[in-house]
Amino acid sequence: MTPIIIFLFSVAVSILTFNFWVQPFQVGGMAMPDTYKKRVQVRERDQIGFIYYTDIAKKILQKINDSQLLEFGCGDGIIRTVQGAYMLESEKTSLGEKRRVQNEKFIEFMRSKEPALPPGKRILSARVCELQDKAILLFYTTGSYDPGAADYQTPRLVVLNSSDNSAFVEVIKKGLFVKTDSILKIRESKDHTRCDNPFQIGKDRSLYILCEEKKDLVSIYYVYRINLNNGASSILETCINKFENGLETICN
């Protein structure tokens, strides 16, 4: 090869390599933690007393040695408003308002999903996690709701009162000549469901995560194990919380 051909070939390879290395968005602006951990503490119950999981689930998780786990960190939960804005659930501005996500690449990526959704369905919530190898796990839920509900409900209540929900995890890898993403459906429900609270992630790409489902006076929580390579999943524990004449909880 002549020097000019070698140069042009090198430029072409560099461009191709760059395209394969660049992810659709980075994790800035979503309240990511300062340091990543191998185990993330997920709340065991809420203020009312609803139980999310028990010692049985904790023992299953603790059996896995730290050497078999990946470090990861997750940002704040995100709610999509009826108007299409993305708001952080916990982070607030100096004026006390919910902080809007300013990550334009992330917003563009989420909006690019909307045309492919079934009629009447919208993205409801999301959460972004990053692994130590810089792969991104994007958790999000889609569902249906009455757009007029925004006139008298907060964005969070609109999401909670939605129906026909589907919870997904999208794996966005970072690497040369690899498939950049795969979308796995975690759970479906006629009511509200959400799966975006990971406990830990194995080096074998086993994801351990808490899912919730809410309807009327019942809240159900599932500890899932999901194989991120092929989507195979199993439920390790289920806790059903009924609140009628007082709180009744059954876990198995």
Residue ranges per structural domain of the chain: 36-251
Percentage of the residues of the chain whose pLDDT score is greater than 70? 89
Which is more confident, 101 or 94?
A: 101
Burial class (CB in 10 A: 0-12, 13-18, 19+), 90: exposed
Sign of the Cα pseudo-torsion (141, 147, 149, 150, in order): positive
Is the pLDDT confidence value at 183 over 70? yes
Residue 224: closest CA among 151, 171, 165, 168: 168
Q: What one-letter code names the amino acid at 88? A: L
**Helix or strand or coil: residue 98?**
strand
Is the pLDDT confidence value at 14 over 50? no
Reported as a single tens digit per residue, the pLDDT across 51-68 is 999 999 999 999 999 999
Reported as a single tens digit per residue, the pLDDT across 188-210 is 999 999 999 999 999 999 999 99
Sign of the Cα pseudo-torsion (201, 202, 204, 209, in order): negative
Q: Residue 132: how many CB atoms within 10 A of its CB? A: 14
- Within its chain, how far is the Cα of 66 from the centroid? 23
Q: What per-residue confidence (pLDDT) applies to 6?
A: 46
Q: What per-residue confidence (pLDDT) applies to 11?
A: 43
pLDDT band at 4 (very low <50, low <70, confident <90, very high): low
Residue 241: closest CA among 64, 70, 47: 47
Query: Is residue 250 within 8 Å of residue 239, measured between CB atoms?
Result: yes
pTM of the model: 0.88
